[in-house]
Structure 1
């Protein structure tokens, strides 16, 4: 028999130990710092061409709306081509030097009115979405945090509002106004967006109620109010913010539809794309460009917000990560 203390035995044992150590260290993984959800989403978004296209359209729209009064070549109330309006032969003057898109039936520069109208469209869409978001956050927080009969009552109200087609509900609310204005559009569109945000936030908060960090906070004796506003609500806002981006596109389309129907601001000194589209209907045969330009602007801007919102939703949703 071989002596365990012999040099050969010790050499074999040393080789075995060295081999085990090599195998143990071969699979060592270098620790790297964790990446937050927002940073991870941004890494995916900046490589997504759909998001870049949507963000580019949206950024261009916002910038033009912000500087429109200063870059518009003509005052929107001025009538520089009024002397060229002929009701029988030339009801709508066409493009010429100094007037890129021509004029409308009252001789007002069409390009200037499109630029300034972008500001009114942006204001209505953003303000209406913000009001709808605040109302939805209030109802969704109450329903998701309290639960019980309060949750049932709030959700039944939300179900009734969702059962009515959104544009029909907005039309009904806007038609109640004695004197239509820009705020009529804001209130009507905000009301139809409240149930969407409320249901979405309520579902997210119900999912948070059974999460480990909320259960841990309750076991430590944290007050219910602090649990709701410091733990449940912040972790439930992700889907709501994404929905707000998508709702901006819907708000712009709904605002244009209501203005087209004559329920928006009747003051033509403050042009708006839906209002311009409505006024173009009597001239749709002789001058279809009067309707084409505002309609094209509405479609392109709504597409930009939609592309950006869908990309953001996919980037923040773990199930949609590629």
Structure 2
């Protein structure tokens, strides 16, 4: 006795055929919708619908534009003292708002709005240069650790572990304090040094993941030279998370720069204002004139928030585990 698979009546399709047709239709619709787009374009399609990213992008773009055009936008030279005659040591040590000076002046008669605008340029320069130098150092160490195994990887990562074991602000403070005279470059070097282990560890992890990938194994089996595998196959595919992290680290760099300037380890020349420096100068008047500290502190908080919102949204858009 033989068993036969029941066949559907003529003119009707089986359940398996209908299921296959439905899956094929869904696959075709998905292909038409995505159109084989790249990872960057796919991430941008999600980011432009993300209000958190748009808010962070708006804050960041506004800050960068204001920092670039600040010397032309500021109504007065930040070192000029147009409100000097309004200072009365006993009754009016800090000039208040008046026509032509919407935010008033500081204790030396300088226009506060002009100093805030020009200070944004100094803050942006310190944050960007410190992040770029930290990124360069971290990429160098991460590439060495991720491309080579054995004692080279162990040596580099032990150095990174030692740097990470020290609180970042304390390490930056120590490096800046070792300089013979404080300046803007001591801030940049100190903050960049703190950021190196962050980028190095992240890139090293990405590089190790790339070492076991199919395209790297295929390149090795074809006899591609090791340095070509590292710089053409492993490193370009491992840089994505590092670039996203740089956006987040930039916000931390701005806060650290302000903290070191507040402690007196930044540029001592107050004719070139910086937001952290302005915070330190406002400390003696914090009880009577809190607006001297409020305005630069608010600028630091808003700008750091903008970079953080943009970086977190970018990381979620590029991470396959958190895509929505």
TM-score (norm 1): 0.93
The number of residues matched between the two structures is 309
Cα 1:295–1:26, aligned 2, differ >3 Å: closer, same or farther?
same
**Residue 60 of structure 2 aligns with which residue?**
58
Please give the alpha-carbon distance, in whole angstroms, between the structure 2 residues aligned to 1:26 and 1:277: 67
Give the alignment partner of residue 201 of structure 2, picking from 199, 209, 215. Answer: 199
**Residue 280 of structure 1 aligns with which residue?**
282
Please give the alpha-carbon distance, in whole angstroms, between the structure 2 residues aligned to 1:194 and 1:254: 15
Pairing of 1:1-322 with structure 2 (within 5 A): 16=10, 19-20=12-13, 23=17, 26-27=21-22, 28-29=24-25, 30=28, 31-32=31-32, 33-322=35-324
Gaps of at least 5 residues in structure 2 are 1-6
Please give the alpha-carbon distance, in whole angstroms, between the structure 2 residues aligned to 1:107 and 1:78: 8
Following superposition, which runs of at least 4 residues in structure 1 exceed 6 angstroms of deviation? none
Please give the alpha-carbon distance, in whole angstroms, between the structure 2 residues aligned to 1:77 and 1:298: 21
**Residue 10 of structure 1 aligns with which residue?**
none
CA offsets 1:121-140 (integer angstroms, 9 cap, x no match) = 00000000000000000000
| Offset, 1:65 | 0.1
| Offset, 1:314 | 0.4
Please give the alpha-carbon distance, in whole angstroms, between the structure 2 residues aligned to 1:203 and 1:78: 51
Q: Which SS does the other structure have where 1:233 is aligned?
A: helix
Please give the alpha-carbon distance, in whole angstroms, between the structure 1 residues aligned to 2:323 and 2:156: 33
- RMSD over aligned CA atoms reads 1.6
Please give the alpha-carbon distance, in whole angstroms, between the structure 2 residues aligned to 1:163 and 1:88: 49
CA offsets 1:55-91 (integer angstroms, 9 cap, x no match) = 0000000000000000100111111110111111110
CA offsets 1:80-136 (integer angstroms, 9 cap, x no match) = 110111111110000000001000000000000000000000000000000000000
Q: Point out the structure with max Rg over C-alpha.
A: 1
| Offset, 1:35 | 2.0
CA offsets 1:176-209 (integer angstroms, 9 cap, x no match) = 1111111010000000000000000000000110
Gaps of at least 5 residues in structure 1 are 1-12
Please give the alpha-carbon distance, in whole angstroms, between the structure 1 residues aligned to 2:21 and 2:191: 61
Q: Which SS does the other structure have where 1:93 is aligned?
A: coil
| Offset, 1:26 | 4.3
| Offset, 1:212 | 0.6
Please give the alpha-carbon distance, in whole angstroms, between the structure 2 residues aligned to 1:219 and 1:74: 66
Please give the alpha-carbon distance, in whole angstroms, between the structure 2 residues aligned to 1:100 and 1:124: 27
| Offset, 1:20 | 4.9
Please give the alpha-carbon distance, in whole angstroms, between the structure 1 residues aligned to 2:131 and 2:195: 7
Q: Which SS does the other structure have where 2:100 is aligned?
A: coil
